[in-house]
Structure 1
């Protein structure tokens, strides 16, 4: 489930970032850029979550 949610959030955030960046540069909106950014964002999040240790409770 966490993989699906990561992909959905990655897609939404990538779509917003691509829209803002293409609007600022005057280029047309390109969905392939969104898909590439989604893949990179998702792989980055999964890599960071695999590297970081699990939280331990200290009392």
Structure 2
């Protein structure tokens, strides 16, 4: 459920960022492109932490504290 909520909020915030970026650059606002980019970015954020944890050298060592 948290992935669905994160995806929804990612799309909403992506639309806001897309609108603001197009307004600041003087371009045209394309909601379809903003949605595609925000979904791709959100999926990357889902996949990135497990990949980073797999390559973390401190998870393999025993902690002696």
State the TM-score, normalized to the length of structure 1: 0.72
- Greater gyration radius: 2
How many residue pairs match? The answer is 56
State the Cα distance separating 1:32 from its structure 2 match: 1.3
TM-score, normalization: structure 2?
Answer: 0.67
Q: List structure 1 segments (4+ residues) > 2 angstroms apart after TM superposition.
A: 49-53
Q: Distance in 1 between matches of 2:41 and 2:5?
A: 12
Gaps of 5+ in 1: 54-58
Aligned residue for 2:9? 9
**Ranges in structure 2 where 5+ consecutive residues have no aligned partner:** 54-64
The CA RMSD measured in Å over matched residues stands at 2.0
Deviation at 1:49, TM superposition (A): 2.9
Which of 1 and 2 has higher RCO (CA within 8 Å, sep 6+)?
A: 1
